[in-house]
Amino acid sequence: MNRLINEALRRFSYRKCLMIAAFAYPALLAQAGEIPASEITVFEKTNVFALGQVGFVAHISEGEVRYRAIMQSDGALATLTRILSSPTASPEARLYAACGIRQLSPADFYGLTQELRNSGLSASVLRTDILKREPVNQLLNRIRAYGCAAPATMFPDTPQR
């Protein structure tokens, strides 16, 4: 019994630390006003597009944590536009950038995402604990229609916890 209690406490602590990090990290980075170039370089290599709590332990993905930090920084729209048009950024990072552009400048969304929409790329998408590859153009259509704030509406076929 003692072993079960220790395991439960360890998992609770792990979840608690993840949640604190998910909400504190963007605020700490954004306090400086601008995101360091090294953080943007790491963000551009994001290899999974995930919104909300995902994975077996239901945490906020590292990519979304960095996305939130960029959204809270000075010059977020310019930074996201650069990432969206960067040939070295992963499709997943470019999707996060599209989310931010959709929120910050909805009128420019379609025009700025046209090149990515026509690229024929696919992206790794994590919903709850299911990882799938999906065409970027379909994901952009969902972002355009629903935005990125509510995963339940953006991904209506996702099982809810």
What are 100-110's pLDDT values in tens digits? Answer: 999 999 999 99
The structure's pTM equals 0.75
Mean pLDDT within 117-126 = 96
Distance between CA atoms of residues 75 and 4, nearest Å: 48
Q: Tell me the per-residue pLDDT of 41-72, one tens digit each, with 9 for 90 and over.
A: 999 999 999 999 888 888 899 999 999 999 99
Supply the DSSP symbol for 115: H
Q: Where on the phi/psi map is residue 25: left (φ > 0), alpha (ψ -120 to 50), or beta?
A: alpha
d(CA 147, CA 24): 23
**Cβ neighbours of residue 11 closer than 8 Å, sequence gap 6 or more:** 57
Asked whether the predicted pLDDT for residue 23 surpasses 50, the reply is: no
Higher pLDDT among residues 75 and 57, named by residue: 75
